[in-house]
Amino acid sequence: MLPWAGVLGFLLLLILLRVWVWVPSSSGAQLVCKPSALAAYLESQCQALKGLCEASWPWRALPSLQTLASLMGPLDSRVHFIRTYLQLSDEGLVALDWAVGPAQQERRQTSSTCSALVLLLVPNSFGKVTRNISKLCHVALLHGYRPVVFNRRGQNGCPLSTTTLQPYGDPADLREAIQYICYRCPGALLFAVGESTGAGLLFSYLGECGSSSHLTAAGCISPIFHPRGWFEAGCPWLWQQLLLMSQKVLLSRFATVLGEVLPLDRFFEGQSLRELEEVLFCQSQTWDLYWERNDSLRDVDEVAVPVLCICSQDDPVCGAPRDTLPFELFETNPYFFLVLTQGGGHCGFFKDSLCGAFWSHEVLLQFFHTIVDFLLTEDKLRGQAKKRGARPVLKVTQGRSGCRQESCCPHNSPDVYRWQRSYTR
């Protein structure tokens, strides 16, 4: 069990040692990307990138405090969820939580009608919806999106109907969930955001599915690009204890059934994230083989939609940017964009105060809007506006086939293929 007194004492020591530090104000954020038509359009149209103002508040010098406020702070009370359970092909269960505002809370939306804009949120892999996710749901609702949160097997109250858990970078469950969302919301533009370790699952999905991902664009908040190195190196003590506790509490609910197939005594005695991961997923394979199959960036060259990653230079969970960020990926791949800020901690990109809105949410939603505007502009330049109507609509298949089947790819038409990839110029 986590020594809470030690954690609070450690945090208090951080405050006493660093609260006096004055952070010089700076505006804007560094955008790292390969020069392209889309990159130029993004820099000129996405004003939120220039709107970050890191004022000299004392908490700006405390990335750990910003991180705690984002990941463990109170959820947004204005957002409520309507849960849908989805049975997977192997009889496992995942849960989709559809966000609704207060006015919609009592109206159980069981019809197939859906907003023209759907935002899929992939939380971190440690079992709970965070304040960061709930706040993003609220802002997305205000901007006309239909947010839906993907909950893994056994997490956030989702039952564990089989003894199979989801490995770190296996997108099979997420793929089936997205196919269901496309079936429920035909014709809707689908966007996705991954938080922390949840971004790794999103990377895996985008790489495996390529142009068949059904997504228009994606975003990641404080992604972990090299998860194997992160598991092996370990986190600073505070975060290691918090993450170990959350994993052990989560699995304790299923100790009886999982104890029949896993050595859970070793799991609950584990003192590092690597030990826990090895107990859960490396009983019949080596550590090397596990990461060969689950590394987030193993198929990154196949990603075929724009992806915006928001990272901080003072991230206390991921570490220093020079050691953890793949700058070469952003400088050579026209689909990847990196927004690097001086402060923000891990997922703690607050705009004005620790109780206020998130600047990162504003950037992501404006990024999605800019992508749609750019595609419309390209569409009109090619003289295809009449052919596809007033806005780009992706074809949606209702089957349950795998991503790599050409028959279910929404971009098979040569015209659509050129339209989707015009931003790589």
Active site residues: 196, 315, 346
Tokens of 5: 């007194």
Contacts (Cβ under 8 Å, ≥6 apart) of 265: none
* C-beta separation of 2 from 244 below 8 A: yes
Contacts (Cβ under 8 Å, ≥6 apart) of 94: 85, 86, 88, 150, 151, 152, 153, 158, 173, 176, 177
Dist CA 38 CA 337 (whole Å) = 10
Question: In 127-270, where do the E strands start and end?
Answer: 146-151, 189-195, 215-221
Residue 297, CA distances (Å) to 59, 98, 223, 316, 326 in order: 33, 29, 11, 22, 10
- Would you list the DSSP string of 62-122? -HHHHHHHHHHSPPPTT-EEEEEEEE-TTS-EEEEEEEE-GGGTTS---SS---SEEEEEE
Q: How many CB atoms lie within 10 A of CB 415?
A: 12
What radius of gyration, in Å, describes the C-alpha atoms of the chain?
21
